Amino acid sequence: MKPDVLVLVPLRPDQQAQLDATYTIHRLDQADDKAALLAAVRDKILAVVTNGGRGITRVEVENLPNLKIVSSSGVGYDAIDVDACSEHGVKVTNTPDVLTDDVADMAVALFLAVRREMIKGDAYVRDGSWVNKGAMPLTRSIRGKKVGIAGLGRIGKAIAARLEPMGVELAYNGRHEQSDVAYHYMGDIVAMAAWADVLIAAMPGGASTEGMISREVLEALGPEGSFINIARGSVVDEAALIDCLGTGSLGSAGLDVFLNEPKSDPAFNSLPNVVLHPHNASGTIETRGAMSQLVVDNLAAHFAGKPLLTPVN
């Protein structure tokens, strides 16, 4: 008999077809009566497919008594109750590495869009301002600027590697100094923000980083500074961010993530000095396909009794 798998979030079509062919699939994401579906299948479910945004809660884990693995699409797992999974003998996998390049590209894209005011430039052409007002106001150069990266993991390093040839000065903040990198380590994130022209958040989400980008950090970055976030909305004090952008105590921001996704704070919509993007840094056909395939491959390894490819716990 095929193992029973509960799908909280579907995979890309090709990989979802692989799941459908290999397992008995129960689509909670499509169920009109989710409670009824769970009641009917809870004892059968051996695996769950989800993603980093949806995750899985302790209550859900405890209501699936025979669950053995949660295979998640996404590098972040702060929405997955990993402690609950570990307590109940449930393995968790994620999809690191395969999304690193696209997320790093998005960080650089937001950096350029913010510093060179590309969204304003687009509007300047479209609304006739170029004809009626003449040349667009000058923006800020990239070369020679100081960039601080908060979180020098896989993605942080990929961002740094992209920025280094652009002639910026790089520093990083993290839990500890890394001996294998040449960038300047700054243990105090407020001091790094005061030093930097641009601060990029690339740390993981979760309780340990919640609110790390505080009002003090944003104000230290200052009225000429820019904040870029491709990490999690939770890492920044979002109310302080909105206030600092509105009052001019922070110059600008480029955001791919928000605190209450997908309902971003409507206050962002009226701020001309922020570029908004809908948590889609890894959102390319190629990368999402690779992420989905890694979910499938982790499930296959589990049911074959082989080592998991990318275990979390």
Q: Respond yes or no: is residue 232 known to be catalytic.
A: yes
Handedness of CA 223, 103, 123, 167 (dihedral sign): positive
**Cβ proximity of 148 and 184 under 8 Å:** no
The active-site residue, picked from 62, 177, 210, 261, is 261
Selected catalytic residue, list 12, 26, 115, 232: 232
Peptide bond into 3 cis (omega under 30): no
Q: Are 313 and 86 a contacting pair, CB within 8 Å?
A: yes
**What residues contact 198, with CB distance under 8 A and at least 6 apart?**
111, 115, 145, 146, 147, 148, 168, 225, 226, 227, 228
The Cα–Cα gap between 37 and 6 comes to 10
Asked if 150 and 170 touch (Cβ cutoff 8 Å), the reply is no
261 assigned to active site: yes
Distance from the first to the final alpha carbon of the chain: 28
Distance of CA 98 to CAs 148, 182, 237, Å? 24, 25, 29
Q: Which of 115, 279, 288, 302 is catalytic?
A: 279
| Catalytic residue set | 232, 261, 279
